[in-house]
Structure 1
């Protein structure tokens, strides 16, 4: 069975790479954009798609990848997957969209496959901001690629240092808002008294020191994307006003009665367990559901097997320029054995410290070991146990009321010291003490200095 000439001519005029396949994965036609992409391999017509794009001898689903053609044969519908293709520039991530065309007997006869390269990510150290090829990374990237072109609100969940801001930028740049601004608001660094003014702006005379009117971050993001970083730190009073913005697209400047409109897409990020905070009534349930239309979990570095080898040269190029470094196999193996609880941020810091300890152009295992030994997490860098003051452990889970009461009973220092030991901000501690409402738990019961 041969494709209609009209169909082949239609594909030829499309700007994105397209091919026409039969049910045996054979390429029956390829448009100019596809031929240009794979011109180094000679003629592609008559060969299988998995041979050309993946250098596989068998279909993708038999080589550990998802195969849109196999999925379409099973479902009878259009299928979309993210693949890692061989290109003249090396391996690159490509969105594959495959549509079945009915044959004379009613079943699928041909398949049209469209390819769209992802500029926001790659599997090469020099390719893009988001770098990786592990299964955990690819699953995360597939979700980013699927949601980015839409207008849905995105909630990025992950440990500190996993690259939430980079993923937020990738979502923005792959959307139809890429021509407008991506504006970030860091909820953890904003005092509660300034939060509303920073977000929505204020009028002249709205409060002491407001000598002139000022636009807020929402206004700066109009037409683009607003990144709400550390959204779990938003004060409860402000959560109501943020909810109104998300539900109606309207807000008011501080000191104004005028209702303003904002055309924004919201991407929020947090390392906290928002669902647990909802259960503890420290985060509004309605706001949680508004923000988490499309949640994406960012994998920690320890789950990204093999990605350190890709990240190391890319990070070295960023932290050590204009110096150029190579990394010995032994040094790379030592890096790959580290747990990196601080994730990519910790790896970056370690590499920068390593380059400062290396006088040559090749990083050896002794340079990495010395950088590890001088790090804060190294036992050699810590004070002896008999000299170090006792500290309560920083909780890895949300701080419950009983845990806070126990911490209060043990603590005799300042409020700032207690907040630091609990791993929360002083403002959050003050708010939790007010919510606790138990004798001796008032904010004034602990020194403020």
Structure 2
């Protein structure tokens, strides 16, 4: 049973109702004082003490003034202005540290229509962090939080989401956060890398094929759409989908049905679609390379991912987290000068480039600290012309003979793993694997 302070006089039936809800809920008055906290709230946010009688902002943020007086978005202040329920995303203090929490606040009015109590429901975003972490989305800057608030708002829905942002901004991590925030979280998240699929295999990979559908189809095979049934299908680099496939994808989105290659049987898939691109889809539509009707199906709820240069305040957090990933046994510390140099860098490759730079810096460092001089070397090593290396074409472009020879030479000269090879070539690991697939398929 929820605990409450008698002088707050919360309605007993309301307290009992909230205590039976599975999500964390608190009830507080117009003075921000918590009158009741249900069992789910106490288990997640206050396992070692009572919050009754304390203000919500003191408990959640460790501050002594309401959120809107401390630079935060206060749901109660917003509800007073609108007279309606309000939703915000806050960074809360929890027993496990700071965590992002999606809040929905509902005013409860008396017979005269005046709000007397407020009910606040909380839903932690498990894939986002406001501190250094081993995984998930990390950041505290305003552009990051604005993006994350959209993720929290649309995540529980069934709406199709289009993620738009430069390469290296973490679109797949955001897709995973959307999946984890939905009712489909227990079902699969299936990732389709559209840029790496040749046009001749695209339909088979997506929809599957029957035995004998084409040369080499020795057995029937389910596609990625069927694998995502009940869950989420993430189409990465959707701007690279061939025109011939776009109409079939549109049919799937409109009717929920598809056919395997070589089959007349109509199959049904029940899934949620999240897509992503770094391309300007409006420009592709104007050029006749992308269907406008498909765009509107994909972009029910578009979310723009900020580039790293617009969220420089997050670089210290990201750097600490990434160093723990690239050097998990003994992550080096960043000297103040090295961190200052990182923050000044424009990072055209975004978080992916930041990871590469930090991995180089960790390898170049002989002690337990990365100095400003070492960081300068690590940054310079990634600049064009800093060291002789084969020039690589854009992702998804066919490899010419000279480029094939360059890649073969790089493979012969390199003695490390694939990740370090990709870093030395100045491309992502995913792009390297695309190139290697093309190399394997090329005549010798």
1:50 paired with 2:82, answer no
Match of 2:283 among 257, 270, 276: 276
**Is 1:222 equivalent to 2:238 in the alignment?**
no
Contact map agreement 1:376 1:382 (CA 8 A) in 2: no
2:93 to 78, 86, 103: 86
Q: 2:332: which partner in 1?
A: 325
Q: Which runs of 5+ in 2 are unaligned?
A: 1-7, 395-399, 404-444
Can you give the 5+ residue segments of structure 1 that lack an aligned partner in the other structure? 395-413, 418-449
How far did 1:18 drift?
2.1
Contact 2:235 2:274 survives alignment (8 Å): yes
Query: Which position in structure 1 is the counterpart of 2:344?
Result: 337
2:430 counterpart residue number: none
Report the alpha carbon displacement of residue 302 of structure 1 after superposing the two structures with TM.
0.7
1: distance between equivalents of 2:162 and 2:106? 30
Q: Structure 1 CA distance, aligned partners of 2:57 and 2:48?
A: 13
Counterpart contact for 1:160–1:343, Cα < 8 Å: yes
Tell me how many residue pairs correspond in the alignment: 392
Instruction: Give runs of aligned pairs for residues 121-140 of structure 1, distance below 5 A.
Output: 121-126=128-133, 128-140=135-147
Write out aligned runs for 1:58-207 (5 A): 58-126=65-133, 128-207=135-214
1:381 aligns with 2:387: yes
Which whole-Å deviations, capped at 9, do the CAs of 1:3-35 have from their partners, x for residues lacking one? 222222333343433222222222223334444
- Deviation track 1:161-206 (CA, whole Å, cap 9, x = no partner) reads 0000111111112211122211111111111111111111111221
Residue 351 (structure 1) aligned to one of 345, 352, 358: 358
Local SS of the residue matching 1:246: helix
Q: Which moved more, 1:367-376 or 1:333-342?
A: 367-376
On the 8 A contact 2:238/2:276 being kept in 1, the answer is: yes
Q: Is the 8 A contact 1:119 1:128 kept in 2?
A: no
Task: Please give the secondary structure, in 2, of the residue aligned with 1:16.
Answer: coil
Deviation for aligned residue 1:109: 1.0
1:279 is displaced (CA, Å) by 1.9
Name the larger-Rg structure. 1
CA 1:31–1:176 in structure 2 vs 1: closer, same or farther (change >3 Å)? closer
The whole-number CA distance in structure 2 between the counterparts of 1:38 and 1:262 is 38
State the partner residue of 2:436: none
| CA distance, structure 2, for counterparts of residue 315 and residue 251 of structure 1 | 41
Once residues 165 and 291 of structure 1 are traced to their aligned partners in structure 2, the CA distance between those partners, rounded to angstroms, is: 16
Whether the 8 Å CA contact 1:121–1:127 is kept in 2: the answer is no
Partner in structure 2 of residue 397 of structure 1? none
**Structure 1, 116-125 or 30-39: larger mean CA deviation:** 30-39
Cα distance change on mapping 1:152 and 1:56 into 2, 3 Å: same
- The SS at the match of 1:381 is coil
In 2, Cα distance between equivalents of 1:221 and 1:45: 44
Partner of 1:298: 305
Note the C-alpha offset of 1:36: 4.9
Indicate the residue corresponding to 1:420 in structure 2.
Answer: none
Shift in alpha-carbon separation, 1:205–1:289, aligned structure 2, 3 A: same
RMSD (CA atoms): 2.5
| CA distance 1:326–1:207, shift in 2 (3 Å) | same
2 CA distance for matches of 1:71 and 1:340?
37
TM-score (norm. length: structure 2):
0.83
Give, in whole Å, the separation in 2 of the partners of 1:210 and 1:9. 61
State the shift of 1:38 in Å.
5.2
C-alpha displacement of 1:62: 1.8
- Cα separation, 1, equivalents of 2:47 and 2:77: 27
When residues 183 and 41 of structure 1 are mapped into structure 2, their CA distance, relative to the original with a 3 A threshold, is closer
Q: 1:296 Cα deviation (Å)?
A: 0.7
TM-score normalised per structure 1: 0.82
